[in-house]
């Protein structure tokens, strides 16, 4: 928004309109699909929801950090 006031201590980084490789959550979904949700058949939407919740609950903070860590996120000036 043009009316957004950004403090001088902040720098905005603009991402391309479609850039899933820059979205940490996309990496989490890819990991979950590859490690816990693949090669399965679900009876209904509730079964999918339950499987996704169970998969999400297996993620530890360390695992999430390893999946989502990228140089542009962890880089400090």
Whole-prediction pTM: 0.64
42 falls within a domain: yes
Q: Could you say which DSSP state residue 36 is in?
A: I
CB burial of 22-38 (b: ≥16 within 10 Å; e: otherwise) equals eeeeebbeebbeeeebe
Helices then strands, each counted (H, E), the chain: 4, 0
CA atoms within 13 A on the CB side of 9: 0
Q: Dump pLDDT digits (tens) for 45-75.
A: 999 999 999 999 999 999 999 998 876 666 5
Domain range for 50: 20-70
| Count of structural domains within the chain | 1
10 falls within a domain: no
Q: Dump pLDDT digits (tens) for 3-47.
A: 888 899 988 888 787 777 778 888 999 999 999 999 999 999 999
60 falls within a domain: yes
């Amino acid at each position: 928004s043009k009316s957004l006031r950004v403090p001088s201590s902040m720098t905005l980084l603009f991402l391309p309109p479609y850039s899933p490789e820059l979205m940490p959550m996309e990496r989490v979904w890819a990991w979950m699909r590859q490690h816990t949700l693949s090669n399965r058949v679900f009876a209904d939407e509730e079964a999918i929801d339950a499987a996704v919740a169970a998969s999400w609950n297996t993620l530890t903070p360390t695992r999430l950090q390893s999946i989502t860590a990228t140089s542009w996120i962890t880089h400090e000036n």
